[in-house]
A and B are shown apart, each in its own frame.
Chain A
Amino acid sequence: MSRALLIGNPSATSDQITDSITKLQKDGQNVTLEQLDRLGNVKMSSSSFNTALCGYIAPYTCIHSAENFSEVFRLLGQGATLRVCEPVLPNTALRVFSPLQRSGDDLVTALKLAGFTAVTIANSIAPTKDEFDAILAHVQKTKPETTADALKDVQLCHVEASTPDFDVMASAPLPMALNRKKKNPPKAAEPAKKSVWTVAASDFGDDDMDLVDEDALLDESDMVKPDAAALSSGCAPAEPGKKKRACKDCSCGLADMNDGKDEFDGSSAPASSCGSCYLGDAFRCGTCPYLGMPSFAAGEQVKLTTRQLKSDV
């Protein structure tokens, strides 16, 4: 099921919120609601949503900050979509009179800066009378002196955007760099620059030298540690149901089962007639009761401990 993040509006009534949620659920979305002012304070893991809706709850009065957008960006997975609805002013001249800080184009820029791609204005329409009153009331909360006239050109701007289909911080070599033909054999650094190094080397070990702050070299992406999935990629030894390795001259049916030739019924398996048990672990099959013991002479009787007799399947 597609997971949607609905950003709430602190000014909305509970009916208005329920309305929006029901609408989305009808579309088959699994909806999570989060209030705008709590974004960033609540812990949600990265890449948890396929869609996010900001400013879609009546009254449409939300102004989203750059921090809001980057948090939403973090919560969206690769190739996810975002829809934003915000009141904007058609031109910037009016900004001084209003807490509305941007035009539709400014909104597009803000989204691009947050990392979104394919940012387009879907439409920009004048609000209805009710919507206008709500916006005015909202603005007057912080700037009581604002008149209806100052907001007469306000529009509700709908913007659509998506997240890139690569992961944040993923890297890929640029084709340009790959094709960079080295026309000449690599040039050594110019003599002047080399001499700086040589001169610098003459006071090697001098503790008073002016050094770059090494901690400042790191950025936020460098603090990220690998997650559990990355730590087991390439091997899945702990997974139950993993194919056990069959030994070379398998006679117990394990090899056939691994090849998908036959349905294998463990209960009828002969105890050990593969002839590999006496060899070392390197040659024993994955279910061999002798695993962990040194090799022994073929035919020799070896006593197993209770630990070894216990099945680990």
Chain B
Amino acid sequence: MAIEMSETRDLLVLYGSQTGTAADVAELLGRKAKAHHFQVRVRSMADYQVTDLTNESLVIFVVATAGQGDAPDNMKAFWRFLLRKQLPLDSLSQMDFTVFGLGDSSYSKYNYAAKKLHKRLLQLGAQQFYKRGLGDDQHLLGYDGELTPWQLGLWSTILHRYPLPPGQTVVDTLLEKPAPKYKCAVMAADLPSLSPNSTPEFIATPTHQPTPERPLYAKVLVNARITADDHWQDVRHIVLDTPSINYRPGDVCVVRPYNPPALVEWFIDYLGVDACAQFILTQADNFVNFPPPHLLPDGASVRFLLTHYLDLHAKPRGRYFFELLSHFAESEREVERLRQLSMPENLDELYDYCYRVKRTPQEVFTDFPSLRGNVPLSYLFDLFPAIQPRQFSIASSPTAYPNQVHLCAAIVTYQTRITAPRIGLCTNMLKHTKVGDHLKIWIVRGTICMPKQNHTPMLMIGPGTGVAPFRSFIGERLGSPEQANKSCLTIEGAASGSKGQCMLVFGNRKRDKDFLFNEDWAAYEKSGGLDLITAFSRDQTEKVYVQQQMMRRGEEIWDLIQSAGAYIYVCGNSKRMPDDVKKAIEHIVATHAPMAKEEAEAYVEQLETVRRLQLETWA
């Protein structure tokens, strides 16, 4: 009698993640697959040999979409490979797949990376075994709004196609505590203990360009508030000492933040761990990769882990956070409540309790005091994501300020129903940095860059902190404000013909409260090199915005675009401003060209295609 071979139950979860959310979702799906008795690997696309795809039988792709509809950084090489025309169209016919995308429908290119990957995989002959799911940050429940219902269908489809081996049932992780992804063992106590703040770091300034693996420890030279003290928003001008670092105007400085020391101490006390102890990570299976050593070096202390690796401030990782905690609470009332919060049918309660008010993990732990001292170190890797670096447009020109990088950062703080204010991890770290402290930084290319020709005029629209890269552009053309001040005394400074005109459109709330870099612009204006247009929305009863001020100067702007071939840059908050400004430009073109509305739209679109209109926006 022939014995039927049991099917291999291999499942690969591949993710492309920009901020870590897709990695989170991938791990969550991986854990669920484990509960369905699959052999699971969860990998970032950057850590995966793309040619192995021709051997995979079952793959779930989890893909985030970055800024302008692009593939996330750790997907880029993988994606370029898949796009090659030489790949035979049926070469992935052995593969069953599905895709879950993570996007934000307030951006125009909503979930494009996931949608494109989905289409390309179909083109290459892969079979879609379950519908594509698209998570949306604009959903009241975030990506969970789609992920929860999508998963229900996913697992029933998978069970139908890959029935469980006889005698096995799906593990209910609510009843059975899941294994942690790493085992974290504290090393023997006789090892020399590290002093509380000592971390296995590497302060030496690299002689090469810094990278995420080897960041520069840049010394803080200035940390100044540049909004009025009684203004609601704290905006900082931070000057970093960056010898031997190369960048160009428009580039972006990436900062790796760490948790506030008080928060770290709170967790050390709450968890009841020995902060100085060193630990080693091991793993039962091949589920996920270890954290890279540049983020979590061998021999790191528990305090290092809690300060520099785990994001103690991140919003709780969905229902799983509460499910996991329910295994560690001792009080029955707390266990019951944590379970309730983790059930898919109670998503609205979880939303009300946690996400709507932006509750922090610390506040959740406080609400469940019987967790104190009962959460094992190993599970912290499942509870907290890794700290993600943050990007800031560089606000200085390398020519005007050699060996320096300037940042212009609005400190994030706001109020919800919770009495204590909400704060942003990185900007609050910046707020509290003192002169002489060091920040871990490196540089990446921005999406905008200056015109090749020095005489091409630039029209720069940068309300709020969106003005940052334009301080770099203008400095590159006109030198530092001090130099500009001097040159206005000489005749040739005022009429330096070889330099193209700079027109800056700045907007904010109030002229005397948040007119960022006010004095710099005044110096440039005096030197004759800068034409400044401002809009302060709250200085009069009627609100005035940059786009209205632009339309008032429509004729000049049209002349600058049409006759002088100006480049146009728009930078700042992505909510409404970029669309409003684009419409204003279309309006200017339609009025002064003059053109029909459709023609003007096509004209502006053409400007964008040839990169004479460039946008850099952030949420």
Contact = CB atoms under 8 A, between A and B. Distances in A.
Interface stretch (B37-45, B124-132, B167-175, B271-279): B124-132
Interface string B120-154: 10010001011110101011110001001100000
A196 interface: yes
A125 interface: no
B120 A235 contact: no
Interface residues of B, number: 73
A282 interface: yes
Contacts of A245: 349, 352
Interface string B71-105: 00000010111011111101111100000000001
Interface residues of A, number: 52
A212 B419 contact: no
Contact of A235 (B161, B348, B366): B348
A52 B418 CA distance: 52
A283 B364 CA distance: 11
Contacts of B420: 294
B5 interface: yes
B247 interface: no
A305 B420 CA distance: 13
B208 interface: no
Interface in B7-34: 7-8
A225 B105 contact: yes
B131 A235 contact: no
Contact of A193 (B54, B105, B418): B54
B57 A234 contact: no
Contacts of A248: 333
A201 interface: yes
Nearest to A178: B160
Contacts of B266: none
B93 A232 contact: no
A248 B336 CA distance: 10
A212 B333 contact: no
B141 A234 contact: yes
B131 A171 contact: yes
Instruction: Classify the secondary structure of A's interface with B.
Output: loop
A193 B94 CA distance: 12
Contacts of A172: 131
Contacts of B79: 214
B415 to A, nearest CB: 10
Nearest to A205: B77
Interface string B158-186: 00110000000000000000000000000
B601 to A, nearest CB: 16
A233 B77 CA distance: 36
A217 B123 CA distance: 9
Nearest to B115: A222
Nearest to B345: A234
Most buried by B among A173, A205, A209, A282: A282
B452 interface: no
Given A186-B94, A218-B112, A237-B356, A200 B54 contact: no
Contacts of A222: 112, 115, 119
Contacts of B333: 248, 283
B575 interface: no
Interface string A280-291: 111100100001
Contacts of A144: none
A211 B83 contact: yes
B157 interface: yes
Interface in A91-142: none
B81 A200 contact: yes
B157 A214 contact: no
Contacts of A236: 348
B145 A231 contact: yes
Nearest to B160: A178
Contact of A231 (B51, B120, B136, B357): B136
Nearest to B139: A231
B341 interface: yes
A193 B95 CA distance: 14
Contacts of A232: 139-140
Contacts of A214: 79, 83, 116, 120
A282 B92 contact: no
B365 to A, nearest CB: 10
A188 interface: yes
A173 B130 contact: yes
A303 B307 CA distance: 35
B366 A294 contact: yes
A200 B337 contact: no
A22 B436 CA distance: 83
B153 to A, nearest CB: 9
Which of A178, A209, A231, A305 gathers most chain B CB within 10 Å?
Answer: A231
A239 B416 CA distance: 18
Interface string A74-97: 000000000000000000000000
A189 interface: yes
B304 interface: no
Contacts of B369: 295
Given A201-B81, A205-B77, A232-B140, A177 B129 contact: yes
B87 A197 contact: yes
B148 A234 contact: yes
A261 interface: no
A190 to B, nearest CB: 8
Contacts of B51: 194, 197-198, 200-201
A282 B130 contact: no
Contacts of A178: 157, 160-161
A187 interface: yes
A234 B148 CA distance: 9
A189 B157 contact: no
Contacts of A197: 50-51, 53-54, 87, 91
Given A197-B51, A225-B110, A189 B347 contact: no
B618 interface: no
A167 to B, nearest CB: 13
B417 A283 contact: no
B347 A279 contact: no
B85 A210 contact: yes
B367 A280 contact: yes
A75 B136 CA distance: 26
Nearest to A227: B105
A240 interface: no
14 contacts: A171-B132, A173-B131, A193-B91, A212-B123, A217-B123, A222-B112, A235-B145, A235-B348, A237-B356, A245-B352, A282-B341, A283-B337, A293-B419, A294-B366
The list of the 3 closest CB pairs from A to B, nearest first, reads A280-B367, A186-B57, A235-B348
